[in-house]
Structure 1
Amino acid sequence: MSSYEAASLGPDGLAAQAAAAAGQPGAAEVERTYRKVFWRIVPFLMLCYVVAYLDRVNVGFAKLQMSTDLAFSETVFGLGAGVFFIGYFLFELPSNILMHKLGARIWIARIMITWGLLSAVFVFVKTPAQFYILRFLLGLAEAGFYPGVILYLTYWFPSHRRAKIIAVFMSAIPVSGIFGNPLSGWIMQSFHNNQGLAGWQWMFLIEAIPAIAIGIATILYLDNGIANAKWLSEREKRLLTDDICAQQQEKTRTHSVAGVFRDPRTWWMSLIYFAFVTGQYGLTFWMPTLVKSTGVTGAFNIGLLSAIPFLVAIVVMNIMGHSSDRRRERRWHLIGPALCGAIGFTVAASFAHNTAVSIAFLSLAAAGVLTCAPLFWSLPTAFMSGATAAAGIAIINSIGNLAGFASPYMIGYLKDLTHSTQSGMYVLAGMLVIGALAVWLTPARLVNR
């Protein structure tokens, strides 16, 4: 090659040409392959999580009618909303290990079909005991779905690509709020007393159907891993496998589940996640009640206004996910949103009777807490892989999601005690500050990969 030709190609062109000559994939081919994988699996997983999250938190909307119809106090509702996570906690680790052994396709389908069936049974709830039992069983059924998907994504994407991928996947949370809140409000308002069923009963019944249908579709659509993907060429499979293997060789390995329990990093990550999940479920379970307390009436109107914070969150969480991957920086991309969430809760609580101010700062709170969740998972998956990751992710998610029990129960108890949501929201803000501090104390060399 002449010096003129070399100069015209530039350094990137020369590198690509050298890689091609050596039989190695160039940057363009790598990006093209990862785009192919992304469009094949991430939108489908996102759809699954939209349905999962809708069935998990639609109890917050049901409360608007259910508490009156069944004479449930705020504490009863908060305990029922939270007891889901006791079942979730108990079965999450074995569920994730089983998924790693049996394969994602069958296991994720099993999870979705069983939780869909249980969600439909909420139509028959009459007493607090029935409410608690069904919420507990729903937690058992859904245990392993979210950490299973996080684990599944580690089979396809190396850690330096994962923050933006998880951010896109977890956009399902605000998407479920954007569409689910108005949908739930519309169902409850439009179907109330139809065929002798209350609006909240119709909501549980109708919103259970997609989980069962998509669970069946999962069996037909999802692949267990790179080796099973018939839509990838052998060269593309090799490229992806080499990337994953190269990353795993750089990680600190723990060789047993017992070792994961002994690793202090597992417990530190669990503390951080617990703090963030406290804010997340405080927001998602109580959003309809918070909006209603500002003076808004009508289930559909409450649903529309409740969607606004989630619209803001979906934009912010994807911007931050891309920024974190591009800079390969994790800590400050988590600390900033956590502190913004704390400010949002504090101001929204202080102006609880002003609809415009409350919605504006609930939007800041939603953007903060929902951005923390996907960015958090780039921390533990930076030093865990394989079976260790299956156990570690499940342990961290199980312990962190105990906040899903504590958070709604705490807010319900404080609301009964003080007749206001202010004190509960101040506690949520304090937990986010604790999470931000714990991230700041995490060594950058451990997680910035």
Structure 2
Amino acid sequence: MSSSTRADSQALLNSPHLKSGIKKAATRLMPMLVILYFVAFLDRTNVGFAEEALSIDRGITAGAYALGAGIFFIGYAIFEIPSNLLLEKFGARVWLARIAITWGIVATAFAWVQNDTMFVILRFLLGVTEAGLFPGVIMFLAQWFPNKMRVQMFAIFYLAQPFSQMLGAPLSGGLISFGDQFTPWHGWQVMFFVEGMMAVVAGIAALFFLINSPQQAKWLSVEEKKALADVMADEQKVKESDGPKGIGAALVNWKVWYFTIIYFGLQVAVYGTTFYLPQQVGNLLGQSVGWQVGLVSAIPWAVGLFSCYYIGKYANTVRRRRTWGTWFYVITGLSILGSAWAGANGQPILGIFFITLAVASFLGCGPITWSYPTAFLSGAAAAAGIGLINSLGNLGGFVAPIMRTSINESIPTDSGAWGVVSLGVFAFLSAAMLWGTRFFSSKADALLEEEAKTATPGH
């Protein structure tokens, strides 16, 4: 990068109008995005609280539960890229709202599930209707915030995961207990209906709170709009000169596939842990899933809030993101192995500790991992590339429960330790590959380093 270009970039990044514009955008947009993902993560994982009850009340088998838990990601993967392309056409405001409303309707239908077949079909449809939410938000944030601030915005968005489980775990457990004691319906029916309707309401609210671009934001001044437009245009030039151009080029780009594999390993660890977390905690405590198990299950997610905050605030250089991300993946794998050992040896306190460490670690991996593809993908290539990474990467959520169940059936133990161990292997693979990015060389990374040098303390 030439000295004149570097000076221009520094002037753009140090503009007081840019800083005030970013602050306003974060304040106005991030709460709504966090709410959307909060409800989405809640609705895709609350089956963990209903697993035992569905087996008793509707005869849902362990195999059907594992298939249903994972098949969500098949529907999600098939419609991910088309959804991203439609978001680019219709705009984030309308499309993200549509996603939330339709998945909320499907989520409420779980209250009337009758058998294995209906359960699996509804899980597939939930994936179809939710497809595009996460990568759509990733694209949306990449259009609003410059790279030096993007990991911080990704981390704020990721806060929805620990919030959904920290608050959602006792909420789901509480709704089950409330429904069983005070309504004529089963508790799990009340849980599915209430949490599904939350998504519908959030989708309607998104129509009023989201803005497609800085130029459409009435709450930004003319100077703030220009500052945001200028710095994003500066980054856009680098992306266009360094990244793939068009949908086809993005789909065959080796870096896109490289980060798809990394993200796949992360999702195996995330969903292999999340889907079974209430049952694993219940087994460690020797209790059935309910209010108390819900409260204990919230502990790992509460700790995860701090890892998200720390990563978002300080991971502002390529070297720091790579080193921290690699260590977070390694700690995730080690912690998953530790939780398996604790369960096999009847150590509930150690088991909760290792589960907490695993959750806090993999929550730190996500924002860092997404900082790489958004640094070199733009336009239609971003819609396709980000959609591909998220759709195929999320197939880890399909593989994880089936792999875990199959291994436990092949090597039966009271604690199901071997199924848990299998999840940690993928975290180590992702760690090795993220560390391998040290051999990459790109203009996007060079720009990120320049941005980091101009960052003010705390940014």
Normalised to the residue count of structure 2, the TM-score between the two structures is: 0.90
**Contact preservation (8 Å) 1:42, 1:169:** yes
* 165, 177, 181: which one aligns with 1:177: 165
**Contact preservation (8 Å) 2:104, 2:196:** yes
1:25-424 matches, cutoff 5 A: 27-192=15-180, 194-251=182-239, 252-298=242-288, 299-325=290-316, 329-352=320-343, 353-417=346-410, 418-419=412-413, 420-424=415-419
User: How many Å apart are 1:111 and its aligned residue?
Assistant: 0.4
User: How many Å apart are 1:313 and its aligned residue?
Assistant: 1.1
Moved more, 131-140 or 329-338: 329-338
User: How many Å apart are 1:250 and its aligned residue?
Assistant: 1.4
The aligned amino acid for 1:102 is F
User: How many Å apart are 1:123 and its aligned residue?
Assistant: 1.2
Moved more, 412-421 or 139-148: 412-421
The aligned amino acid for 1:383 is F
**Contact preservation (8 Å) 2:81, 2:384:** yes
**Contact preservation (8 Å) 2:59, 2:116:** no
Structure 1: 5+ residue runs without aligned partners?
A: 1-14
The aligned amino acid for 2:154 is I
- Distance in 2, matches of 1:243 and 1:62, equals 48
* 432, 435, 440: which one aligns with 2:435: 440
**Contact preservation (8 Å) 2:300, 2:360:** yes
- Distance in 2, matches of 1:278 and 1:195, equals 37
The aligned amino acid for 1:268 is Y
Render the CA deviation track for 1:220-254: whole Å, top value 9, x for unaligned.
22111112111111111100010101011112132
Render the CA deviation track for 1:319-340: whole Å, top value 9, x for unaligned.
1222211676321121010011
- Distance in 1, matches of 2:173 and 2:52, equals 9
**Contact preservation (8 Å) 2:326, 2:434:** yes
- Distance in 2, matches of 1:108 and 1:328, equals 33
**Contact preservation (8 Å) 1:74, 1:413:** no
User: How many Å apart are 1:414 and its aligned residue?
Assistant: 2.7
Residue 302 of structure 2 aligns to a residue whose secondary structure is: helix
**Contact preservation (8 Å) 1:75, 1:416:** no
User: How many Å apart are 1:413 and its aligned residue?
Assistant: 2.6
- Distance in 1, matches of 2:127 and 2:13, equals 44
Change (3 A) 1:193 1:410: farther
User: How many Å apart are 1:30 and its aligned residue?
Assistant: 2.7
- Distance in 1, matches of 2:210 and 2:357, equals 35
Aligned residue pairs total 429
**Contact preservation (8 Å) 1:78, 1:410:** no
**Contact preservation (8 Å) 2:251, 2:384:** no
**Contact preservation (8 Å) 2:69, 2:401:** yes
**Contact preservation (8 Å) 1:76, 1:128:** yes
Name the residue aligned to 1:3: none
User: How many Å apart are 1:350 and its aligned residue?
Assistant: 0.3
Normalised to the residue count of structure 1, the TM-score between the two structures is: 0.92
The aligned amino acid for 2:293 is I
- Distance in 2, matches of 1:306 and 1:30, equals 41
**Contact preservation (8 Å) 2:404, 2:423:** no
User: How many Å apart are 1:311 and its aligned residue?
Assistant: 1.0
Choose 1 or 2 for highest CA Rg.
Answer: 1
